[in-house]
Structure 1
């Protein structure tokens, strides 16, 4: 949540610390085991209805032994990685003053149930604009075979020098979910924390995975043309959907479930998670393609939000068009748009996809 109070200048030691953080690389100490039921839960929470997200026979039709995670599933792993950064090397920022502005996924191959993924993250840059720090964090997900299956980046904005009213802090703490990570003080942990520092100038620890060349898309590539629209569609979001997504994704920001928290943040009501709206857009794109594994890159810049009242569902409207075609690769660049109650949700939403 962001609520402006008295603005103070950042202390010199904080500015120095920010300057030394850019370029630092880390590995999450523990791997992430991708479970079949977790994939199904995420698919249900994001209304991703393709059969490959739920049933092995449908996944095998696409060439995979385990069910296939939706294109934005890596956000579940990313939330844990970002939290590890904020709990350690970025601990001088106030968690209540952090927002996400951009998200990019580059999918060499889909995440599949049974994968064991190691996460490497890097703080690429910290740019200061007024009282805001724009922190660009990149990531690589490396599977049990040493292959980089996905990579990408996220940009978060953290406010500096903002004095928070103690009464607001107390209110937020009373409604926040209790998700404090297990620390060395709780159990004997000889590893000494969730992050392992890596050499700043080293490459990611894995090798690029060989992408699956076979996709099973529905549109006939030879009949597509640049500028052609994609059939529009809608999705509905309720307060129950927000509660479910918060639990499945690990995004426990109270503006997504508490009217009081939303009010303190200056919002008209509880609002949907930005990553939920991106995931719904991914599902919309998958419905048109007919194959979630055909998405090679998906990037969004968030610019709006979906208010969700307790009385009725909120409707999200999606549309898109083909920006360009590559006949040699049989691929396309697709521009997506999303809106709710007349509010534009994405400043930019672009996907790179390939066809059979």
Structure 2
């Protein structure tokens, strides 16, 4: 995964660029296919011991034909979408410029082995207040049939006209790549 951390340009020209993106949608070209081992590995990493994340029989007892992912599995897809978000909607910012301040997740149904997850990213709002830029994004995740899996809303805050110290940007970039 590549994390976009390009030089920040929050000049007066950049602010209208992002303000013009409010209401715009971007659909990344690549879907994410949910795999059996990805579900098992993620469940282990977050210490979610529910048997439906490991055993087909346990998932079947809950009415699913295959393993189901933990609800927080959406974070795997969200992390993969960060470069797309900054490249196409959060124009002029990099991941090291913003603070992730709020997250809302509505799960419509658990992700399952074999789901091909498509994403629709949207910049819902941008405003400046008290020396900060406040941006709210919405991401809708759908399966191969077009059924909604999850909807997330994320609020990011950045200093208006601010920039990140190069050493901090480098440390964050190294952390995100590990």
C-alpha separation between the residues in 2 aligned to 1:108 and 1:90? Answer: 26
Q: Does 1:173 align with 2:178?
A: no
What secondary structure, in the 3-state scheme, does the structure 2 residue paired with 1:85 have? helix
RMSD after superposition: 2.2
Cα deviation for residue 176 of structure 1 reads 3.4
After the TM superposition, which segments of 4 or more aligned residues of structure 1 sit over 4 Å from their partners? none
TM-score (norm 2): 0.84
Q: 1:118 to 1:16 in 2, by over 3 A?
A: same
Q: 1:25 to 1:157 in 2, by over 3 A?
A: same
Counterpart of 1:193 in structure 2 is: none
Counterpart of 1:229 in structure 2 is: none
Identify unmatched segments of 5+ residues in structure 2.
Answer: 1-9
C-alpha separation between the residues in 1 aligned to 2:96 and 2:127? Answer: 19
Counterpart of 1:49 in structure 2 is: 49
Counterpart of 2:104 in structure 1 is: 104
Cα deviation for residue 126 of structure 1 reads 0.9
Counterpart of 1:159 in structure 2 is: 159
Q: 1:171 to 1:143 in 2, by over 3 A?
A: closer
1:296-327 CA deviation, whole Å, 9 max, x = no partner? xxxxxxxxxxxxxxxxxxxxxxxxxxxxxxxx
- Greater percentage in helix: 2
1:275-286 map, 5 Å: none
The answer as to whether partners of 1:93 and 1:160 remain within 8 angstroms in 2 is no
Greater C-alpha Rg: 1
What secondary structure, in the 3-state scheme, does the structure 2 residue paired with 1:121 have? strand
Counterpart of 1:135 in structure 2 is: 135
1:18-57 map, 5 Å: 18-57=18-57
Identify unmatched segments of 5+ residues in structure 1.
Answer: 1-9, 178-245, 247-251, 255-356
C-alpha separation between the residues in 1 aligned to 2:45 and 2:92? Answer: 33
The answer as to whether partners of 2:26 and 2:88 remain within 8 angstroms in 1 is no
TM-score (norm 1): 0.44
Q: 1:176 to 1:152 in 2, by over 3 A?
A: closer
What secondary structure, in the 3-state scheme, does the structure 1 residue paired with 2:71 have? coil
Counterpart of 2:3 in structure 1 is: none
The answer as to whether partners of 2:128 and 2:160 remain within 8 angstroms in 1 is no
Cα deviation for residue 31 of structure 1 reads 0.7
Higher relative contact order (CA 8 A, sep 6+): 2
Counterpart of 1:58 in structure 2 is: 58
